[in-house]
Amino acid sequence: MRVLIVEDDAAQVRLISRLLQRGDSGFDVRAVNSAASAVAAIGQEKFDVVLLDLTLGDSAGLATVRTIARAAPDLPIVVLTASDNPDIGLQSLRCGAQDFLRKNDLTGAVLVRSIQFAHERKHVQISQRERRHLREAVREAERVLGIVGHELRTPLAALRATTEFLLSPEAKETAEWDVFLHSMHNEVIRMAELVNNMLEAARLNSRRSMWCWGPVNLSEACEEALNVMRPLVAHGRVDLRCIHERENIHLRGDANAVQRLILNLVSNSAKFTQEGFIEMRTRQFIEDEHSWVEVRVEDSGTGISEEVVSKLGEAFVLSSGALGSDYVKGTGLGLSICKAIVAVHGGDLTVSSEPGKGTAFTARLRADLEEPLRRSPKIRRRKERRAA
């Protein structure tokens, strides 16, 4: 068992080392004298337990426990204290330690017993956390399966009724074959899109996706997305436009993913905009010594309530009844895909919206990334004053 002693008193280090290395103890001991050194050692090597002094040259008190617990959440910590105050030990447990010992009470047997106890207690905590996560994952899978079944049941029922009619003798005399066939075709497309979006969202959010990284012309990606969307918006009532701060804005990323991001954002605006405008703006800028690009998609549509905004990007939440009885268009898979794409490009996705006044999504992407980033995706709400 590998033990890391974090103690700046050399005499205490020698005492603890002797106590642990008596006989055939099986302990491999390493010592450091600061919290910073401990964090560095934990990042470079594997340890089974930390014996931690609360008072170090660069850290003191419960902050020391928190520092080590953040650096290695699954590493057992035994706090060593010179204080007779039992509250210090109890507070250490609340901050992430598994056990505490008074330095004046140290013996070989006490140390070994405390290390074993801390190790077992941490193992139990990890097991409980994993079981909790598994139960949550099962509940989430059951929820999604139930909603997917509901989403597919309606078009499947329509397809079944239509095919049963077309197979009947009466259908041979009908003049509406083309109408029925178009209806069936549209339902198949809708179901295929749902399944494809589910697979795409699962792939992107698994963080095991393969990315084709290289130069991307953002201006071209925006124009291509608008060309796809123009036939799908309400002609004559919705002005679909794109404004580039300058031509030929470039970044490094996945070209197909960036175009998918833009297409999803514009498509999302089109669902809620029956008249007015959908406007895309792009720009490039420097911030924190990095190059960034920004795509802002703003519309004059129906807008989104704050309750709905808080759940954007969570698949099926908006159409599952989780937010009350109001029906919300879409499954949420499109924005789930968007936030995953933005995250892997090192950026963020923000939303500003107000019911009756439209919505604006802003995607910021790092333009100078040499490879994909692995980070948790999210959508942030941005407070803005929107014109009436």
Assigned domain for 66 exists? yes
Indicate whether 103 and 141 sit together in one domain: no
CATH number of domain containing 75:
3.40.50.2300
Backbone φ and ψ of 108, nearest 5°: -60, -45
> Could you give the dihedral angle defined by the CA atoms of residues 185, 188, 194 and 199, in that order, rounded to the nearest 10 degrees?
-120
Indicate whether 65 and 189 sit together in one domain: no
Indicate whether 366 and 220 sit together in one domain: yes
b/e code 21-38 from CB counts within 10 Å (16+ = b): eeeeeebebebbbbbebb
Indicate whether 198 and 300 sit together in one domain: no
Indicate whether 235 and 323 sit together in one domain: yes
Indicate whether 238 and 117 sit together in one domain: no
Indicate whether 289 and 150 sit together in one domain: no
Kindly write down the DSSP assignment for every residue of 222-271, as one continuous string.
HHHHHHHHGGGS-TTTEEEEEEESSS--EEEEEHHHHHHHHHHHHHHHHH
Indicate whether 231 and 323 sit together in one domain: yes
How do the pLDDT tens digits run along the chain, 388 residues long?
A: 889 999 988 998 898 888 887 756 678 889 999 999 999 999 888 999 999 998 888 888 888 889 988 888 889 999 988 887 878 888 888 888 999 888 888 888 888 888 888 888 888 888 888 888 888 777 767 766 766 676 677 778 888 888 888 888 877 777 777 788 888 887 787 787 777 777 777 666 665 667 889 999 998 888 888 888 888 776 778 888 899 988 889 999 999 889 889 988 998 888 888 889 999 999 999 998 899 999 999 999 888 777 766 666 565 555 544 444 444 455 667 787 888 889 889 999 988 888 888 899 999 999 999 988 876 656 666 655 454 4
Tokens linked to 96 = 């992430």
CATH number of domain containing 371:
3.30.565.10
Indicate whether 171 and 292 sit together in one domain: no
User: Comparing C-alpha atoms, which of 185, 194, 205 is closest to residue 319?
Assistant: 194
Assigned domain for 388 exists? no
Indicate whether 19 and 82 sit together in one domain: yes
Indicate whether 43 and 166 sit together in one domain: no
Tokens linked to 65 = 């426990």
Tokens linked to 83 = 């204080």
CATH number of domain containing 158:
1.10.287.130
User: Comparing C-alpha atoms, which of 115, 122, 130, 134 is closest to residue 69?
Assistant: 122
Domain count, the chain: 3
Q: Which domain holds residue 190?
A: 136-205
**Alpha carbons 273 and 300: distance in angstroms, whole number:** 6
Indicate whether 114 and 195 sit together in one domain: no
- Residue 352 identity (one-letter amino acid): S
- Residue 192 identity (one-letter amino acid): A
**Alpha carbons 61 and 27: distance in angstroms, whole number:** 27
Of 101, 128, 155, the residue at which a domain comes to its end is 128
The answer to whether 295 touches 345, Cβ cutoff 8 Å, is: no
> Per residue, what are the HEC states of 64-100?
HHHHHHHHCCCCCEEEEECCCCHHHHHHHHHCCCCEE
